[in-house]
Chains A and B, each alone.
Chain A
Amino acid sequence: MIPFAAKAGRIVRGMRVEHVCGDPNLSEENDARLARRIVDTALRALQTEVDGPTVFDPAEETASAT
C-alpha cells in the first residue's frame, strides 16, 4: 500500500516485512523456490509496460524454467 501511495510504477508483492524475498518457515528448497518466483516476477515487471502504479503478484507467476 505504501509503494502504491508513493506512486512507484512497478511493485512486486513480497512475503512479509521481516522476510520480503522468501519464507523461513518453508523448507530450504521451497524457500529458495519462492525467492526465485518473486525475482522472476520482478523481472517480468521490468519487461512490462505500465501506465501508472501496478502491482505484480508472484502468486500469478507460472513455474519458471530451471
Chain B
Amino acid sequence: MTDGLKVVHYLNQFFGGIGGEEHANTPFQVKIGPVGPGNALQQILGDRAEVVATFICGDNYFVEEAASGARDASAALEEIKPDVVIAGPAFDAGRYGVAAAQMCIIAKSAGIPAVTAMHPDNVGYTTLRSDLVCLPTGTRASEMQDALSRMADLALRLGNGEQLGPASKEGYLPTGLRKAIVREKPAWERAIDMLEARVADEDYSSEVLIQQYETVPPPMPVADLSSITLGLVTSGGLVPRGNPDRQMSGNAQQAFKYSIEGITELALDEWESVHGGFNTKYLNTKNPNYVLPLPVLRQLEDAGVIGSIYPNFFSTVGNGTAVTNAKRMGAEIAREFKDAGVTAALLVAT
C-alpha cells in the first residue's frame, strides 16, 4: 500500500496476457493489481502511485460492444475510484488504439483524468483526439518502457489535479484545440530565428502544424444521368432581390432554399448576389446564372440528358464561413437531397 495515487491500467487481450487475435472478443474484465506491462509501469511509478487494478478487454469487444463495454468500464471505475487511468500504449494497433481512446473518454466523463499513447497515425488518435491526452509512440512494442515512462509522468501530474501546458512543451499530440498565448519574442524576431534555424539545418518548431481537412471518399459515379434527379447548390450568395432572408455577406450561418420550379433561368431583375468576398457586378448587372447555370441545365433536362432538376436550390455565401457551420449546412442539404431521392449534385463555388 502506498499513500500515492490510485491508477487503473487498461490493456487489450494481447498485452493483458489472454491471447492474440483469436481472443479479440474477450469481454471486459478486471484484475487486481498490475498485469503484464503494468508491472513495468508500477516499477516506474514506484511509491508515487499504485496500479490498483487492470482493465482487460478484447479489442473487438470494447469497440463493437461499445455500450456494454462502456457500462462495465464505468461500473468498475465507480467502484474503484482511481485518481487516473492509463490506457495502452497501443502503438499502431488500430482497434486497440480506438479502444484505449474510448476508455479514456469514458474515464473523462466520469471525472477521472486519463492518458494514453499510440502512433500519431493510429485511427484511435486521429478520430478521437479532441478528447484525449495522447502521447506519441512509434510502432514497436520494444518502445514500451519509454512509452510507459512518459505516460507515468503525465498521469501523475494529471492525477494530482495539474493542468497541462501546450502540446509542444508537454510532449503530447495536439487535440486540435488551439489557445491564445503570449510569446516571449515578437513575431518578426521569431520569423528570423526560424529562418536562420532552417538555413543552418537546426531544429525548429513551426507554430502551426499543417493539418488536413478530413477526406471524404468520393461516391461511385452516376450510371445513368437520364434517370437521376440533380440537386443544385451555390456558394455564390444568390438571393431573391431585396435579400428577404437577410443572408449575410460573410460568415454565413445558413444556406437558404429557393424554388426554381418551372423556371428556366434566373432573371436579372429577380435575383442578386450578396457575397462579400468578390466583385458581384457581373452577377448583379448582367447574369446571376453565372453561379448557377440554370439555362444550360434546363436545356439538358428538356433533351433528356438529365432526368430532372430538383425543384429547389440551396444558396449560401462562401466568404469567411466557419468550418463548423459549413459542415452543418452541407449535412442539412445532403439530408434533404437524400430524402428526396436526389443522387447527384452540382455545387458552384466562388
Contact = CB atoms under 8 A, between A and B. Distances in A.
- Using C-beta atoms within 8 Å of the partner chain, give the interface range for chain B: 35 or more
Q: Please give me the 5 A-B residue pairs with the lowest Cβ-Cβ distance, nearest first.
A: A9-B218, A19-B290, A21-B293, A39-B296, A46-B222
A41 to B, nearest CB: 11
Contact of B295 (A2, A17, A35, A42): A35
A42 B348 CA distance: 10
Given A18-B282, A42-B346, A52-B218, 17 more contacts: A19-B282, A19-B287, A19-B290, A20-B348, A20-B349, A21-B293, A21-B348, A22-B290, A24-B290, A35-B289, A35-B296, A43-B306, A47-B225, A48-B221, A49-B220, A54-B218, A66-B299
Interface stretch (B69-77, B186-194, B208-216): B208-216
Interface of B: 212-223, 225, 236, 278-283, 286-287, 289-293, 295-297, 299-300, 303, 305-306, 344, 346, 348-350
A30 to B, nearest CB: 14
Nearest to A33: B296
B296 A9 contact: no
A50 B291 CA distance: 25
Contact of B283 (A5, A19, A38, A39): A19
Nearest to B216: A7
A22 B346 CA distance: 16
A46 B344 contact: yes
A48 B222 CA distance: 8
B236 A20 contact: yes
B289 A22 contact: yes
Contacts of A9: 216-219
A43 B287 contact: no
A7 B330 CA distance: 14
Nearest to A51: B218
Contact of B300 (A2, A43, A52): A43
Interface string A12-44: 001001111110100000001001101100110
Contacts of A20: 236, 290-291, 348-350
Q: Interface SS of chain A: helix, strand, loop or mixed?
A: loop
13 contacts: A5-B213, A9-B219, A18-B278, A18-B280, A24-B282, A32-B295, A35-B289, A35-B295, A39-B293, A47-B223, A47-B225, A66-B299, A66-B303
B215 A18 contact: no
B293 A22 contact: yes
A6 interface: yes
A19 to B, nearest CB: 4
A42 to B, nearest CB: 6
Contacts of A43: 225, 300, 305-306
Given A39-B297, A42-B346, A21 B218 contact: no
